[in-house]
Amino acid sequence: PLMRSSHIRHAWDPHKSVAQNLAEMGLAEDPNKAVPIPKKLLGMGMEVENDGQQPGKKIVRKPYVVNEMELEASLPEKKSNTLSRDLIDYVRYMIQSHGDNYKEMARDEKNYYQDTPKQIKRKINVYKNFYPEEYKSFIASLKPEKMEVQ
């Protein structure tokens, strides 16, 4: 999981140990050692193991790694305004086959997800909200077909 971050991957020195690489970037190898337990908690009966290592002041040679990671984490999350093609096809098939009869949709053999009528209705509403124009034109294209059948 460490190397998933492009910032760490680019700053990594293969000739150094994991501990050395992380220390140079200002990152912690062991989060338990990086964040000290407040003395207030120690008095409440919590024991802290001492492994003999003195937490010395480390020199951060590559502070830009942490800075870039913090900047990336502060950016707003991209919202995906698309639905999967499978979901769109599923919803359109259900509407085409059953109109607005959600109970029939739930019984349909193509209801692979085994959705309840409420779940199918919710998926159709999501499709309506994401693609209102496409939904309107799809519904309009169904009306002549139904007139021919009658």
pLDDT per position as a tens digit, 57-72: 567 788 888 888 888 8
Average pLDDT over residues 90-99: 94
Residues 6+ apart with CB under 8 A from 127: 83, 87, 88, 91, 92, 135
pTM: 0.45
Whether 3 and 9 have beta carbons less than 8 Å apart is answered as: yes
Residue with tokens 């509407």: 95
* pLDDT reading at 77 higher than 80: no
* pLDDT reading at 150 higher than 50: no
Average pLDDT over residues 120-137: 92
CA distances for 35 relative to 9, 127, 141, 144, angstroms: 24, 46, 62, 68
* Residue 58, pLDDT score: 66
* Residue 106, pLDDT score: 96
pLDDT greater at residue 42 or residue 118 = 118
Residues 6+ apart with CB under 8 A from 3: 9, 12
Closest CA to 21 of 62, 55, 54, 66: 62
Whether 54 and 86 have beta carbons less than 8 Å apart is answered as: no
Average pLDDT over residues 123-143: 90
* Residue 70, pLDDT score: 84
* Residue 149, pLDDT score: 47
Closest CA to 123 of 97, 94, 80: 94
* pLDDT reading at 52 higher than 50: no
* Residue 40, pLDDT score: 66
Instruction: Report which listed range, 26-30, 54-58, 90-94, 130-134, is most confident.
Output: 90-94
Whether 97 and 58 have beta carbons less than 8 Å apart is answered as: no
Average pLDDT over residues 95-103: 94
